[in-house]
């Protein structure tokens, strides 16, 4: 059975020159190298500081255990610690980090050769300490996860140096072949294993880079899709879609909600005098500003018709009816204030007379959910209570807000309202009482 190819491996953006090679796209390879440096910087810094401290403490420990410290040991340990700390210093400068891999490889070679020189000077090559010591230093590139090329350079150099020393001592008769060949065999056998290990580490890091970049790209695509979706659906509906809560927005339900209807007074006549570009700018700015205010109060815009707007509070995010009216009133106040600010901007487009919005608020039971076909649907509210909100709005003076009696009863004790009479609504066999906030009542008249 053939397994499906991973989407990560199949991405053409991350195609490599073979299973172990570089990325074919130069920009991707450069991006990987920058990412790799950022990934190994903390490890390299920690290893560098730790290694330098250990080497500087060796003479102290040597003096404590032996009683004296050879001058050669001081020179050797400082010759190791100083270049090691150099890496740490280089890491502090972002512009120099591009050379970090080469600098780290160079320091590893310096450490290995210096260690070999010290051990051979003190104890002789035949003891095997040079071979074992250098072998331990060879693992340094693997610890800091250097790329395969730099790791191979370190391994080859630090393998060739002790092998050459051992062969030289054997030829000069200082040690026998039986004493040196085990160490030579260990070094020669370990070298290819270490290079392969370095290659496996780099391959793993490249796959990690691919995975991270793929996830980041998918997140960017999701964010772009979300922004696009929000242009056609309210933010609260988008949240439900993303969370998988389809029941809250799918099948229509009868819910007690608060409807808000708004309209810009005199906008139709004004539109006839504006050029299409200016009109488009005004509508876009108005729609965006009003939507932001309503959604900021946990409302959902269900309909835009030119300058007209319908919204509901209490769905799909449920809340108490009294809270719905509070949110709707806060949104209405914000809409009045924001339109006053927009008027200053629109004056430059030729709108000399400031625009004012009328708002109507009504609470009641509506059918709320997604309406439409299987191929296309709209989240909205349908019912008589929406018509009542629109009718109340039509009776308000420009720049004012009116509440129906059902909404007013919910918040009548929280603010001062002025009763302004009754409104007849088509489909309702009794008049609807309307109320205006006290600060608006003197300028709001029922026709």
* 252 and 168 belong to one structural domain: no
In this model, does residue 224 exceed pLDDT 90?
no
Q: What is the pLDDT of residue 443?
A: 39
Cis peptide leading into residue 439 (ω within 30°): no
In this model, does residue 378 exceed pLDDT 70?
yes
Please indicate, yes or no, if residue 447 is contained in any of the structural domains.
no
Please indicate, yes or no, if residue 227 is contained in any of the structural domains.
no
In this model, does residue 249 exceed pLDDT 70?
no
In this model, does residue 309 exceed pLDDT 60?
yes
Q: What integer is the mean pLDDT of 240-268?
A: 79
Q: Quickly state the pLDDT bin for 427 (edges 50, 70, 90).
A: confident
Q: What integer is the mean pLDDT of 233-246?
A: 66
Q: What is the pLDDT of residue 406?
A: 94
Q: What is the pLDDT of residue 362?
A: 96
Q: What is the pLDDT of residue 247?
A: 63
Please indicate, yes or no, if residue 446 is contained in any of the structural domains.
no
> What is this structure's pTM?
0.57
* 211 and 257 belong to one structural domain: no
Phi, psi of 355 (to 5 degrees): -90, 150
Please indicate whether residue 205 or residue 71 has the higher confidence score (pLDDT). Answer: 205
In this model, does residue 446 exceed pLDDT 50?
no
Please indicate, yes or no, if residue 241 is contained in any of the structural domains.
no
Domain count within the chain: 2
Please indicate, yes or no, if residue 139 is contained in any of the structural domains.
yes
Which one of 222, 239, 266 terminates a domain? 222
Q: What integer is the mean pLDDT of 400-419?
A: 92
What does the alpha-carbon distance between residue 377 and residue 280 come to, in Å, rounded to a whole number?
26
Query: Which DSSP category does 396 fall into?
Result: S
Query: Which DSSP category does 35 fall into?
Result: H
Q: What integer is the mean pLDDT of 225-247?
A: 67
In this model, does residue 440 exceed pLDDT 70?
no
* 409 and 365 belong to one structural domain: yes
Which one of 174, 207, 222 terminates a domain? 222
Q: Is the dihedral of CA 322, 323, 324, 329 positive or negative?
A: positive
Phi, psi of 443 (to 5 degrees): -110, 5
Q: What integer is the mean pLDDT of 103-118?
A: 83
Q: What is the mean pLDDT of the chain?
A: 82
Q: Quickly state the pLDDT bin for 2 (edges 50, 70, 90).
A: very low
Please indicate, yes or no, if residue 102 is contained in any of the structural domains.
yes
* 391 and 429 belong to one structural domain: yes
Q: What is the pLDDT of residue 258?
A: 96
* 269 and 124 belong to one structural domain: no
Which one of 222, 256, 289 terminates a domain? 222
* 255 and 217 belong to one structural domain: no
CATH number at residue 398: 3.30.70.1230
Please indicate, yes or no, if residue 228 is contained in any of the structural domains.
no
Q: What is the pLDDT of residue 392?
A: 92
What does the alpha-carbon distance between residue 406 and residue 412 come to, in Å, rounded to a whole number?
10
* 285 and 388 belong to one structural domain: yes
Q: What is the pLDDT of residue 328?
A: 96
Within its chain, how far is the Cα of 336 from the centroid? 35
* 184 and 282 belong to one structural domain: no
Name the residue with tokens 């491996």. 9
Task: Give the angle 189-190-194 at the CA atoms, nearest 5°.
Answer: 135
Q: What is the pLDDT of residue 1?
A: 39
* 140 and 253 belong to one structural domain: no
Q: Which long-range contacts (CB under 8 A, 24 or more apart) does 97-105 make?
A: 97/37, 97/41, 98/37, 100/37, 100/40, 100/41, 100/44, 101/37, 101/146, 101/147, 101/150, 102/150, 104/44, 104/141, 104/144, 104/146, 104/150, 105/141, 105/146, 105/150, 105/151, 105/153, 105/154
* 125 and 207 belong to one structural domain: yes
Residue 289 domain boundaries:
247-441
* 265 and 126 belong to one structural domain: no
User: What tens digit of pLDDT does each residue of 32-79 get?
Assistant: 888 988 888 888 888 888 888 888 888 888 788 777 777 777 888 888
Nearest CA to 33 among 200, 140, 194, 148? Answer: 148
Phi, psi of 257 (to 5 degrees): -135, 175
* 198 and 318 belong to one structural domain: no
Please indicate, yes or no, if residue 2 is contained in any of the structural domains.
no
Q: What integer is the mean pLDDT of 307-322?
A: 90
């Amino acid at each position: 059975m053939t397994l499906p190819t991973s989407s990560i491996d199949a991405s053409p953006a991350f195609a490599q020159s073979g299973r172990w090679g570089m990325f074919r796209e130069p920009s991707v390879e450069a991006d990987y190298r920058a990412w790799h440096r950022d990934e190994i910087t903390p490890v390299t810094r920690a290893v560098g500081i730790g290694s330098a401290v250990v080497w500087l403490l060796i003479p102290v420990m040597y003096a404590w255990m032996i009683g004296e410290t050879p001058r050669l040991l001081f020179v050797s340990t400082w010759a190791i610690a100083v270049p090691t700390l150099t890496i740490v210093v280089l890491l502090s400068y972002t512009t120099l980090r591009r050379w970090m891999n080469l600098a780290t490889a160079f320091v590893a070679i310096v450490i290995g050769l210096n260690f070999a020189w010290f051990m051979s000077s003190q104890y002789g090559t035949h003891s095997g300490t040079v071979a074992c010591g250098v072998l331990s230093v060879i693992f340094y590139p693997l610890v800091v996860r250097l790329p395969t090329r730099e790791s191979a350079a370190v391994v080859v150099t630090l393998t060739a140096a002790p092998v050459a020393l051992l062969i030289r001592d054997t030829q000069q008769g200082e040690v026998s072949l039986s004493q040196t060949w085990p160490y030579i065999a260990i070094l020669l056998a370990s070298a290819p294993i270490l290079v392969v290990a370095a290659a496996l580490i780099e391959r793993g890091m490249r796959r990690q880079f691919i995975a991270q970049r793929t996830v980041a790209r998918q997140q960017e695509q999701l964010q772009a899709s979300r922004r696009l979706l929000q242009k056609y659906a309210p933010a609260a509906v988008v949240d439900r879609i993303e969370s998988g809560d389809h029941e809250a927005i799918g099948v229509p339900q009868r819910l007690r909600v608060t409807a808000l209807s708004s309209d810009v007074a005199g906008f139709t006549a004004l539109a006839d005098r504006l050029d299409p570009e200016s009109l488009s700018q005004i509508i876009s700015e108005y729609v965006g500003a009003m939507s932001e205010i309503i959604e900021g109060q946990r409302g959902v815009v269900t309909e835009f018709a030119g300058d007209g707007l319908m919204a509901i509070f209490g769905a799909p995010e449920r809340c108490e009816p009294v809270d719905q009216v509070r949110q709707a009133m806060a949104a209405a106040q914000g809409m009045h204030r924001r339109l006053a600010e927009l008027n200053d901007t629109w004056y430059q487009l030729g709108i000399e007379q400031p625009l004012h919005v009328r708002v109507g608020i009504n609470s009641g039971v509506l059918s709320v959910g997604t309406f439409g076909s299987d191929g296309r649907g709209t989240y909205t509210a349908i019912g008589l209570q929406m018509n009542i909100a629109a009718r109340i709005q039509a009776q308000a003076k420009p720049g004012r807000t009116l509440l129906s009696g059902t909404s007013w009863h919910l918040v009548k004790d929280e603010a001062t309202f002025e009763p302004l009479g009754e409104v007849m609504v088509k489909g309702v066999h009794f008049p609807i009482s309307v109320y205006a906030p006290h600060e608006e009542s003197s300028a709001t008249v029922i026709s």
